[in-house]
Amino acid sequence: MSSVQLKNIVKRFGAFTAVEKTSLTIPDGAFTTLLGPSGCGKTTTLRMIAGLLDPTEGEIVIGGKRVNDVPIHKRNLGLVFQNYALFPHKSVAENVAFGLRYRNVSRADIARRVQDALDLVQLPDVGARYPKALSGGQQQRIALARAIVIEPDVLLLDEPLSALDANLREDMRVELKRIQARIGVTTVFVTHDQSEALAMSDEIVVMSDGRVEQVGAPEDVYNTPASEFVARFLGASNILGGQCVSHGADGAVLEVPVFGQVAVPAAKSPHLTGPGPAKLVIRAEKLLLRAAAPIDGTLTAPAIVEAVDYQGQSVRYFVRAGDETFQAINMIDGRPFAQGAQVHLALRPQDCAALPG
């Protein structure tokens, strides 16, 4: 296992800057996800770690060693790409063994390690088959086996699940995390899929326009976003502009439309430094619809349901309260509210987060 450090990394393509000055430390054994929309710089960052691209500025350090000038084949990295890149004319066993044949490994050790890798990805009996005879999920596992069989210092995964259908993606993300946890290899995973990032990661690096917006554990990034971009990109959020009217050790009080004064605890308002313009972040699943006004310590406001998006176990409502439109995602208990229904919105202040305005 090796840590990965990026020190003031910059990548330019002509006049275009794909990655701004970025510094980041990925700990030994961590599953770290680079998350963001297309064009945010996450894949460019991964390719610089891999040695497929040279940084314009800055240093890349793996296991305490600067690797800027070390070619890709000498970095001892495992790579899995979106299209798997399996050799169609080679058997599964030959595909998995490919990296070992360039490492002075004996024939007997190659056979043993290939079988161990196939066992690990739960495909022990497919060594003699060819990639075209495998399903997409099986090909993904073979690509992973080929990457881990060399016992890499770092495993790099570039959207490896994006070619799979929705149900298989969910199964494979559980399997991929299981394998990573078992072998303990430092892993950098690139995705634009927030659910993958939240489900699989020890740490999430949210990127936008070539910059790092926030780094933290999934629950921290989700519940306490550092910027409006993070709040909107991860999950569905309602963001109300207002004023921070008081700020202290216990938290902040924001004055916002519809709900009036909302007391946000300090743990959910670490990015506020004092009174002034502020924004209240309300996650859609924390905003509840009720037929009658709740009285259990919640803040409430009358509203009208404008649209209903039925999703099976849950329903997403679009509701209007005053001059504001909100999204609310609620589990279904009985029948959903109908379009046009008069309801009460309810939220708990401790479920909100606050950002500078």
Domain of 311, CATH number, reads: 2.40.50.140
Q: pLDDT digit string (tens) for 84-109?
A: 789 999 999 999 999 998 888 999 99
User: Would 177 be classed as within a structural domain?
Assistant: yes
The more confidently predicted of residues 49 and 140 is 49
SS3 84: coil
Q: How far is Cα 241 from Cα 245, in angstroms, rounded to an integer?
A: 13
Model pLDDT, residue 1: 56
Q: Of 201, 223, 245, which residue constitutes the final position of a domain?
A: 223
Average pLDDT for 81-85: 83
- Let me know if 51 is exposed, middle or buried by CB neighbors in 10 A (0-12, 13-18, 19+): buried
Whether the model pTM is above 0.85 = yes
Helix (H) or strand (E) holding 32: strand 31-35
Residues 304 and 155 in one domain: no
Smallest Cα–Cα separation from 337: which of 346, 325, 328, 350?
328
The domain of 207 spans 4-223
User: Would 60 be classed as within a structural domain?
Assistant: yes
Residues 290 and 214 in one domain: no
**Secondary structure string (H, E, C) spanning 282-306:** EEHHHCEEECCCCCCCCEEEEEEEE
Q: Using alpha carbons, list the distances in angstroms from residue 101 to 54, 80, 96, 263.
A: 27, 18, 10, 62
- Let me know if 168 is exposed, middle or buried by CB neighbors in 10 A (0-12, 13-18, 19+): middle
Residues 163 and 61 in one domain: yes
User: Would 229 be classed as within a structural domain?
Assistant: no
The more confidently predicted of residues 296 and 268 is 268
Identify whether the C-beta of residue 352 lies closer than 8 Å to the C-beta of residue 272.
Answer: no
Residues 80 and 183 in one domain: yes
Q: Using alpha carbons, list the distances in angstroms from residue 215 to 25, 44, 256, 267, 349.
A: 10, 18, 28, 16, 24
Residues 120 and 177 in one domain: yes
pLDDT above 80: residue 322: yes
pLDDT above 90: residue 276: yes
Residues 139 and 15 in one domain: yes
Q: pLDDT digit string (tens) for 211-258?
A: 999 999 999 999 999 999 999 999 899 999 999 999 998 999 999 999
Tally of domains within the chain: 2
Q: Using alpha carbons, list the distances in angstroms from residue 331 to 65, 170, 191, 224.
A: 50, 21, 27, 23
Long-range contacts of 315-322 (CB under 8 A, 24+ apart): 316/236, 316/284, 317/289, 319/289, 319/343, 319/345, 321/258, 321/345, 322/257, 322/258
Q: Of 223, 256, 290, which residue constitutes the final position of a domain?
A: 223
Percentage of residues of the chain with pLDDT beyond 90: 82
Q: How many other C-beta atoms can be found within 10 angstroms of the C-beta atom of residue 39? A: 14
Model pLDDT, residue 168: 82
Residue with tokens 């066993």: 93
Model pLDDT, residue 233: 94
Residues 159 and 305 in one domain: no
Residues 188 and 47 in one domain: yes
